[in-house]
Structures are given as structure tokens and as C-alpha cells.
Amino acid sequence: MKLDRESAGARWIVRPDGCDKVTGKLNFLTDLSFPGMVYGTILRSPYPHARIKAIRTDAAARLPGVVAVITHRDVPGVNRFGIMYPDQPVLCEDRVRFVGDAVAAVAAESEEAAGEALRLIEVEYEELPVIDSPEAALAPEAPRLHPGGNVLHRTHYERGNVEGAFRRCAVIVEETYETPRQMHAYMETEGGLFVPGPDGKLAVYAPTQHGYMDRMQLARILAMPETDIRVVSSPIGGSFGGKDELNIQPYGALLALCCGRPVKIHQSRWESVRAGLKRHPMKIAMKTGVDADGRLLAHRVRILADTGAYATLGAPVLQFATEHAVGPYRIPHVDVEGWAVYTNNGVSGEFRGFGGNQVVFALEGQMDRLAEALGMDAWEFRRINLRGMDDPGPLGQRVAPTDGARHVWETIRRSSLWERRSGRTTDRRAETRLHQRDVSSGSGHVDVRPDNGGSGPAAASFSSPWVRRGVGAAMVMHGCGLGFGIPDPAGGRIGLSAQGNIQVAFGHEEFGQGLLASLQLMIQDLFACDPGDIEIILGDTDRAPHSGSSTASRTTSMVWQALHRLQPHFSRAVCERASTMSGIPVSHLRLGPGGVWAGPERVVRYREIAEKGTEGLQFETQFHFPVTPDAIMGGHYLYTFAGVVTEVEVNLLTGQVTVLGVEHAVAAGPVVNPMGYLGQIEGGNGMALGFALMEDAVMDGSRYVTTNLDTYLIPTIRDVPERIEVYAIEDLPPNDNYGPRGVGEVGSVGLAPAIAAAVRQATGTWINRLPISREQLMRPISTFLHENAPMVSVPDVGKEEG
Amino acid sequence: MENDLLLCRRVNGRVASPMPSPFTLTFTVNGQTVSLEVDPTRRLLDILRKDLGLTGTKVSCEIGRCGACTVLLDGKPANACLIMAYQCAGKPVQTIEGVADEDLNAIQRAFLEEGAFQCGYCTPGMIMALEAVFRQKPKPTMEELKEGLTGNLCRCTGYSGIVRALDRLSRRRVESTRAIDRLGSFRRAWPDTQR
Ligand code: FES
Ligand code: FES
């Protein structure tokens, strides 16, 4: 089904929070003020790596208007944070490990005074040698960034006998891929409001993707009972994984408790860049071999991830990358090893796609290279290697049966964009055979002249000889939930409120994804009620139960399951009340608009039921995200599948790549909220376009060169194609009761490798590093100065760079 | 506590400054005359958000690159992060809060209908930038509308929903009120931060 307004029909609804967002009435948490509040600000390290010899705060504390100055000495509890493994100092004691490390924080009556106070804090540093790459971190003589050394996490998955299998391969492709330090670049930078109560309690209004996790971490830092802290965590002006970890919360909380006044913090963009998380830059070496029929035999992967100065979710990200490096393919012999390595480069952590984006770029690159080396159609090559309905997951674990891979494959094959890739790399089989043993390393790409094999009618249709077109496609298999071995609780509550509303409460957040609209639609589906009957409470630890995190493409799935668990209990209890009040037997009653109905008549209003008391009408459920029964660390059980096809145009004089059109096919079970689903894929598409073509938080010697949105470029409305189509495949196998899978991440994964494949077809250049460098694609104008220029062989000047 | 969380409106916001320069800024904001004693170099962004409590205008890059702070100054689009108090003297400023009455304007309706936003943080700036286009030209083309948004970044939507909204606006299709009618009374999320 092509997903759009027309196909969605009545399910295309205006978001419940929409009106407030288009009128500016919606208060983001960084818009809040409080009477008597003061302004908080954080002093961060100017050095990527240094020893702290002394911190002197007296002058700052004496400045008029300053109400609190804190350092590590003022942290009452554990001076560390980190969701998985708390190793990041809230306030550094004796050493800083990246340019965002916090050393002190100030609260003052005005932002000006707070800023002035920061300048008055004297910190004596002694610079230490900087580790600016994972390779440097692994060198034997490298200084140790943490007591356990420089390796945060190591993964290893092996099945079969890879080395033996390589000896039987007809074609082997070996290549190393590199991906950039992508920044979330949410439009609302980190911030919030921290309000101490007279009872010693603390209210935290600050964005996060897991309010209860923030509460737990803050309780540990503040040495306070969790129940004394209330975390209100949404609405949020974008997160994409970047606000899941604590950011400014510890400082706001400490300052508020220290001075006993409400504290507001709102970081500048530069503070956000220097202290905020990024996507792990990865170097991924893959060696992949096939037999003469094109069947994958062996796949060896080595992943080196720059996890930066502290752990946060570096280990699970690497775990996810390790699993997803195998993808939706049948490969008998697999050997994947990964290292997440500490450096002095910022902090890498959670980011939409969670390590999948990097390895799928590499894996799909391998698939395209192998197909070309075999002289096969790139999509057909994927088909003969694609997983089937009952195949195990990438790590050999049992997974929920799914034919998603074949469904999306078929949808892309039939797409009009894929048809435009008519200049297929045929006739190269003979050529390939010549160096079939080692189609790799440098000469790894078969020397294809673009105008020979790479230019079909699509490319020829354009007049300027230096403008080329190409089409490429990629497959994605993306796990939902946190994976085996990580607690992944879910839950929610439903009840009739005192006002007579069907009230649901989830400890999830609305960060733009459209959870409110999804919930409204699900509740209407289940109870046939009016939107006006519904009340939704989200992201508030005082008012909503534990629901786990709003991450990992799990939220829609989990609230759907929770509501399906709760529905029979709630409906029955409400109908029983209505039965008592009306004298009509329960079996004749059902929930409907405004109240309980019997046949065509509403017999009791919800409000009337509520007036008689709502006790016994609240239901809560707690359960766990479905996991594989096989104890394989990180292995997932539910997956979303996606295929992406794109057409690009490359200007060989400027190196500019323009994405002309994209089609996504997504198999994620039933579409709950069409506008939200579509928006997730479209938004992911935009992010992936940036990842492929322009985004990189460049560091030099572990210092950011890109400091704001003038140097860190994200796509504008001019950079995205007008034609993006999304096809939603809703089919699930019979007896599949897991409902909708998540679509929050999958749209951000496949476009980069699809663009790389399209650029290959357009120009003959293989891309193995993102963002695609224009320099790699540019050709001297002399290349085109001859008559019949399109027939001139184009030297692949960029290849040694790539 | 839920009741004390108020938006603080300091209509006479005075800012501590090392060298106070007495300056009374008089200008109109959404049609109302406002007089404030401020530093002449205070940013319009701070005057709106902090002194007047008009937080519909957003802050993101503070260097004129993202458009989240777009307002109309003398009817033309301006980045409030780059405008100083003295530049506003005697001029009309319009913000998202003053752009439409309860009925919403065509731009806002198109954004709601087409899914032109997610988190909504870029949205007020986008709507003001488009408002500026419509003031220049009541029937702009798709191209002119897009050009009007080149200074506004959105990280959530990939611009697809925005392009749909522009398409609707450029064709000036008869507004469907189908979905709008369903707005209903469902606005109760996050009650205590939304008062
Ligand atoms: S905040 Fe003014 S343009 Fe970005
Ligand atoms: S809707 Fe979130 S930045 Fe545009």
C-alpha cells in the first residue's frame, strides 16, 4: 500500500498536539520559566585530555548575583553517570577526557552574571597526550583513558568456518568502509527547569527518552530516594536518541538543591555540539565471498568504533552493529568481531539506527560489489541470498517468523525507480573471472567505465556530458527492542478518570514522533470512543507507570501490546458498572462514543459512571519486550524490514550528488498511524541523506572544527527530493500476535548505501566512505573537452582516496 | 506544585549589564505597543522570549542559520537572534503568537493537514517565513514558497510533509476541513506544563 493521505482515509488525523504546535502555544520544557528562578550554566573543559591540578571558585562565588558554584566536591552521591555503565563524571575531579567534560557549574540571578562567573573560575590544567583515533587508542604505548584500558567493549560472533569457506569461493570482495561522526542536530538544544520543593523533593522538567531512567540516575547522583524526584520529560524538540542519556540534568538538579531555588538551563548550540552525543564513527572491514552461482558462503567483519571518552551506550551500539553486519542474508560461515574503543573525541552514543546505519552501509556495499563482480543484477543477487520466513536471525537465534524481507524485496523490484536502472552490469562476468580470486583491496572494484556498463537510458537521458544519473537500492533488517540480555520492560495503565475520561498513562515521551496520535487511534480502535473521551498522560514519573524507554523502535509496539492486554479488563469493568446502573446485562453492553452502549443507544455516560466512583476501574500491566529464547547476547526477536531505491544525479565538474527520487518499502506489520509512520520514514530519509552526502562533525586533534549549523550542514528543503514514496507492507504471518513493529529508525538506514550504489552506476566510482566527498567524484574539465565526450573513459581519480 | 508553574512575564525586563546604557525601546509586538528599558544591543530574541514571555519564537543556532527564531520585522522575515533592540525601535514586530486568531490561517491548516511537522520546534519559524512570502505575493508559486523556506531547518520531517503543505498552499486547493474538524477537545496531554 502506498502510504499517503488518500490511502489512509479517516486514519489521517491531525495530531492532538498539532494546534498548539502551529500556534506557538505549546510550551517545550526549555520554554518554561518559574517565579524566582535563576540561570544555570556549566564550565566545560577547554582541553580534550588534561589533568586538573586545581579548581578555584572563590572569585566566582563572590560575584554579585551568583547564588551557587559547584564542583565535584558538591556531588552528594555517585559522581558518575551512564545508562549502561556509569563512568562519566558529573563534575570532573582530577582529569578531563574530552572538550565537553564538565568541571564546575554556576547558578546566578541573570545569564550574564552566570557567564561572568564561569570566567572567574580558575582551573589549572596540565595537558595530557591526546588520543584522537581508535587506532591510536589501541597502540601498545597509548595512555589508558580508563582503569580498564581503552577498550570499552568487544564483541565476537562466529559460526561455521570462514577461512575454509573462503577457499571455496569463486569471488571474494574485500573492502573497508568508514562512516562519519553524525550529529543528532535536534532543533531544540538540551535544557530544562529544575524546581526544588519545600518538602526536599525535586521536580525535573527536562527532555529525555526514558524519564524513569533519568530519575534512577539522578537519585544515584543526588543520594536521594527516587520517589523524591519527579521527572517530566516531554514534549521534546527532537531527540533521535541524543537526549536519552543524561545531559544537563545533573547540573540543574545539583544547582537547584544547592541554592534552593528553581534553576533553568538551556544550552547554546556550541555547548550542545561540544558536550552532546554523536553517532559512532566506524571503520568496518568486510571480506565476503560467494560461490560461482552467487550464493554467499563466507562473511568476515571487523568493526572498529570510536566510542569517545565515556561508555554511555557504546557497548550495546557495538552489539547491535555486530548483529546487523550479517543482515537479512543466508550466510553459512560468519565471523564478526567488534571493538568499541575509548578516545578523547567527544562521546559517541545512541543515535537513531543504533549502529545499524554504519554496518548496513558496509554490508550493502559488499552486496553491490559482489553482484557486479559476478555480472549479476544487484537485486537478483540479493534475492538468491535472502532469508526465508522461518530462518534464524542474524546471530543464529530463533526469531518471530517473518517474510518481511521477501515482501520488501518484491516491492522494490516492481518499483518504477528500480526499472530505471536499466544499464545493468551485464557482460562483465568474463572480465571478473580473470581476477575472481581477489576482487578486493584497491583493485577491489572491477574497472568499469561508466559509459560502458553504467549508463543506461537513465544516464544517457541527460544532455551535459558531465551530468550522470544512476539508480541504486539497499535492503535493511532492523531489530526492535533492546535485544537479548538487556532488561527491556514495558507497561502502562488505563482507567476511568474522575472526570469520566478514558485515561491512559505511559512512561513514554512525545518527541515529535506522533505517539499521542498513535495512542488516540489505538484507543479509538479498541473502545470505539470519541477523541474527546480520551485523556493521555505521558512522560511524567509522578503520573505514569514504568513503560521502559522510548527508544529502539519499541514504543508503538509496546503501547499496542499494553493496550491489548488492558482492553478486556477495562471494558468488562466499565460495562459491569453500566450494567448495575442500567439494569441491562453486561453481554448486551459495549463501550462507544461518550459512554456505554446497548444496541443503537447510549445507556450510560462515562461521566455518570465516574460520578459513582472510579475505584476498581484502573488497570495496570507490566511485561517484557518479546525476546528470543536463545541466549545470544544482543540478539533480537522482532524485526522491521525495509528496502530503499533511489535515483541520483552526479555533476562530475562539481562533484555534487543530487538525490532525485526515493522509494521506501517497509514491512513493519499494521500501520497504526499513517501520518506518523510516513513521517518517520520521510524524516529518517532526510537524516540518511545528510549522513550520505554532507554531515560530519569534524574533529582535529579531538577538538571540534564544526561548531554550529554553519559548519555542520544538515539538509535544507533544497537538498531533498520532492518525490519520496513510502510503501507499507502490513502482512504478518498467521498467528503473529505481536502487532505493529517500530518504524522510528529503519527509514534512516538504507538510503546511504542506496545512494552509494547509484553513484557507482552514475560515475563508476565505488564509495566506501561517508559522507561522499565531492573531491572523489570531481573530474577535470579537460575530461569532457572532446567531441562525443560521453564515450570518453573517465579516470577514477578518487579511488585511492576512498 | 502544578499550579505554581507559570510562565513568567517580565514586561519590564531589565538586564544587568556591565555598562548600562539607558534606552527605552518602543515598538509594537503583534499590534500592541510595548515600551521596555533594555540595552540597545539586547537581541530581539531575548526581548521576545525572556522579557515578554513570547516563547513561540524558538532559539536554536543563534547565528542566523536555522530560522527557528523567524519573526516579521516591518513585515519582512528576520532572524530574531540577529536583530538588536535599537533596530526594532518604532517598528512593528509580528510573532507566531500574533499570526492568526483561533481559526488558524491557511499556512497553519496546511501544516496540520499534511503532517508538516513532528516535534514542532522549527514550525513557528517556518510559518512566519511563509507568512512573509504571502505578504509579498498573495499567490506564490511552489518555487517561491520553497525559496521562502531555504533559511529554515527542520530535522524531523525530512521536509516531505512541508513540501506537501507547500504544494497545497501553492495550488490553494479548497481547504478540506475534514481532519481539522476532528480536533475536538483532545488537548489534555502534559497538563501541568501547558497552562
Ligand atoms: S536561532 Fe536564529 S536563526 Fe537559528
Ligand atoms: S518538526 Fe522537529 S525540527 Fe522540524
Whether B112 and B178 map to the same domain: the answer is: yes
Residue B149 is nearest to which of A23, A513, A717, comparing CB atoms? A717
CA distance A228 to A5: 46
Q: What is the largest CA-CA distance in chain A?
A: 92
Range B62-76 average pLDDT? 98
A187/B188 Cβ within 8 A: no
Distances (CA, A) of A60 to A51, A52, A119: 22, 18, 8
Angle at A128 between CA A122 and CA A129, to 5 degrees: 150
**Closest ligand to the CA of B83:** 1
B118/A514 Cβ within 8 A: yes
Residue B77 contacts residue B38 (beta carbons within 8 Å): no
A557-566 pLDDT tens trace: 999 999 999 9
Atom of ligand 2 nearest to the CA of B118: 1
Residue A203 contacts residue A57 (beta carbons within 8 Å): no
Please give the DSSP secondary-structure letter assigned to residue A310: S
Residue A504, C-beta contacts closer than 8 angstroms, at least 6 positions apart? A492, A493, A494, A519, A523, A534, A535, A536, A537, A563
Backbone angles phi, psi at A217, to 5 degrees: -65, -40
Residue A374 contacts residue A429 (beta carbons within 8 Å): yes
The secondary structure of A555-606 as a DSSP string is HHHHHHHHHHHHHHHHHHHHHHHHHHHH---GGGEEEETTEEEETTEEEEEH
Number of neighbouring beta carbons within 10 Å of residue A723? 14
Residue A571, C-beta contacts closer than 8 angstroms, at least 6 positions apart? A527, A590, A591
Q: How many separate domains does chain B show?
A: 2
Residue A135: all three cell numbers together: 587506532
Of B98, B129, B164, which one is at a domain's C-terminal end?
B98
A718/B146 Cβ within 8 A: yes
Report the CATH number that the domain containing residue B174 is assigned in CATH. Answer: 1.10.150.120
Distance (Å) from CA B153 to ligand 1 centroid: 10
CA distance A30 to A46: 26
Residue of chain A whose Cα is closest to the Cα of B10: A35
Distance from B165 to chain A by nearest Cα, in Å?
12
Of B77, B98, B119, which one is at a domain's C-terminal end?
B98
B68/A25 Cβ within 8 A: no
The secondary structure of A655-716 as a DSSP string is --EEEEEEEEEEE-SS-S-HHHHHHHHHHHHHHHHHHHHT----EETTEES--STTTS----
**Interface contact A524, partner B, CB < 8 A:** no
Report the CATH number that the domain containing residue B12 is assigned in CATH. Answer: 3.10.20.30
CA distance B73 to B94: 7
Q: Please state the length of chain A.
A: 802
- Sign of the alpha-carbon torsion through A67, A69, A74, A80: positive
CA distance B165 to B126: 11
A187-216 pLDDT tens trace: 999 999 999 999 999 999 999 999 999 999
Whether B77 and B149 map to the same domain: the answer is: no
A719-765 pLDDT tens trace: 999 889 999 999 999 999 999 999 999 999 999 999 999 999 999 99
**Closest ligand to the CA of A15:** 2
Identify whether A235 is preceded by a cis peptide bond (ω within 30 of 0). Answer: yes
CA distance A376 to A328: 19
SS (H, E, C) A180-197: CCCECCCCCCCEEEEEEC
Distance from B117 to chain A by nearest Cα, in Å?
8
Residues 28-67 of B with CB under 8 A from A: 49, 53-63, 65-66
The secondary structure of A732-755 as a DSSP string is --TT----PPP-TTGGGTSHHHHH
CA distance A357 to A751: 9
A421-430, A619-628, A735-744, B116-125: least confidently modelled range? A421-430
Residue B5 is nearest to which of A14, A34, A676, comparing CB atoms? A34
A29/B186 Cβ within 8 A: no
A489-624 architecture in CATH?
2-Layer Sandwich (3.30)
Residues 118-147 of B with CB under 8 A from A: 118-124, 127, 146
Residues 660-689 of A with CB under 8 A from B: 675-676, 678-679, 682-687, 689
Whether B127 and B93 map to the same domain: the answer is: no
Q: Locate cell 534464524: which residue?
A: A392
Distance from A381 to chain B by nearest Cα, in Å?
31
Distance (Å) from CA B60 to ligand 2 centroid: 11
Q: Which of B59, B70, B111, B121 to mutate to test the pocket of ligand 2 (most atoms within 8 A of CB)?
A: B121
Residue A452 binned pLDDT confidence (cut-offs 50, 70, 90): very low
Residue B20 binned pLDDT confidence (cut-offs 50, 70, 90): low
Question: pLDDT value at position B181?
Answer: 41
pLDDT at B188 over 80: no
Residue A361 contacts residue A319 (beta carbons within 8 Å): no
B117 lines ligand 2 (CB under 6 A): yes
A76-85, A187-196, B165-174: least confidently modelled range? B165-174
B155 lines ligand 2 (CB under 6 A): yes
H or E element that contains A651: strand A638-651
Name the residue with higher pLDDT: A464 or A704.
A704
B157 lines ligand 1 (CB under 6 A): no
Residue of chain A whose Cα is closest to the Cα of B194: A27
Whether B46 and B76 map to the same domain: the answer is: yes
**Closest ligand to the CA of B159:** 2
Task: Count Cβ neighbours within 10 Å for each residue of A130-162 and write b for 16 or more, e otherwise.
Answer: bbbbbebbbeeebeebeeeebebbebebebbeb
Q: What percent of chain A has pLDDT over 90?
A: 91
Residue B176 binned pLDDT confidence (cut-offs 50, 70, 90): very low
Residue A422 binned pLDDT confidence (cut-offs 50, 70, 90): confident
Q: Which of B81, B126, B152, B153 to mutate to test the pocket of ligand 1 (most atoms within 8 A of CB)?
A: B81
CA distance A54 to A71: 11
Residue B171 binned pLDDT confidence (cut-offs 50, 70, 90): confident
Range A411-417 average pLDDT? 96
Where in the sequence is the domain holding B172, given as residue range(s)? 100-195
**Interface contact A228, partner B, CB < 8 A:** no
A717/B118 Cβ within 8 A: no
CA distance A345 to A100: 10
For residue A348, list its beta bridge partners. Answer: A278
Residue (of A643, A624, A635) closest to A738 by Cα position: A624
Residue B119 is nearest to which of A22, A187, A716, comparing CB atoms? A187
A759-799 pLDDT tens trace: 999 999 999 999 999 999 999 998 888 645 454 444 444 44
Whether B128 and B194 map to the same domain: the answer is: yes
> A390: buried, middle or exposed (CB in 10 Å: 19+, 13-18, 0-12)?
exposed
Whether B9 and B20 map to the same domain: the answer is: yes
Backbone angles phi, psi at A494, to 5 degrees: -135, 150
B151 lines ligand 1 (CB under 6 A): no
**Interface contact A539, partner B, CB < 8 A:** yes
Question: pLDDT value at position B172?
Answer: 67
A187/B122 Cβ within 8 A: yes
Residue A45 contacts residue A89 (beta carbons within 8 Å): no
Residue A446 contacts residue A373 (beta carbons within 8 Å): yes
CA distance B70 to B151: 9
Distance (Å) from CA B106 to ligand 1 centroid: 24
Average pLDDT, chain A: 93
Question: pLDDT value at position B102?
Answer: 78
B61/A32 Cβ within 8 A: no
Please give the DSSP secondary-structure letter assigned to residue A109: S
Please give the DSSP secondary-structure letter assigned to residue A794: P
Whether B105 and B173 map to the same domain: the answer is: yes
Q: Locate cell 478540506: which residue?
A: B176
Q: What is the CATH number of domain A29-128+187-238+243-275?
A: 3.90.1170.50
Residue A634 contacts residue A697 (beta carbons within 8 Å): no
Residue of chain B whose Cα is closest to the Cα of A684: B158
B118/A715 Cβ within 8 A: no
B17/A33 Cβ within 8 A: no
A203/B155 Cβ within 8 A: no
3-state helix, strand and coil shares in percent for chain A, rounded to the nearest 5: 30, 25, 45
pLDDT at A584 over 70: yes
B118 lines ligand 1 (CB under 6 A): no
Residue (of A304, A244, A297, A274) closest to A82 by Cα position: A244
Residue A325 contacts residue A78 (beta carbons within 8 Å): no
State the number of CA atoms in the 13 A half-sphere of A104 facing the CB. Answer: 25
SS (H, E, C) chain B: CCCCCCCCCCCCCCCCCCCCCCCEEEEEECCEEEEEECCCCCEHHHHHHHHCCCCCCCCCCCCCCCCCCEEEECCEEEECCCCEHHHHCCCEEECHHHCCCCCCCHHHHHHHHHCCCCCCCCHHHHHHHHHHHHHHCCCCCHHHHHHHCCCCCCCCCCCHHHHHHHHHHHHCCCCCCHHHHCCCCCCCCCHHHCC
Residue A286, C-beta contacts closer than 8 angstroms, at least 6 positions apart? A173, A174, A175, A176, A177, A299, A300, A301, A302, A325, A362, A363, A365, A366
Distance from A712 to chain B by nearest Cα, in Å?
11
Whether B72 and B146 map to the same domain: the answer is: no
Whether B81 and B3 map to the same domain: the answer is: yes
A289-326 pLDDT tens trace: 999 999 999 999 999 999 999 999 999 999 999 999 99
Atom of ligand 1 nearest to the CA of B65: 3
B115 lines ligand 2 (CB under 6 A): no
Residue B62 is nearest to which of A23, A268, A532, comparing CB atoms? A268
Question: pLDDT value at position B12?
Answer: 36
- Supply the residue whose CA is at minimum distance from atom 3 of ligand 2: B154
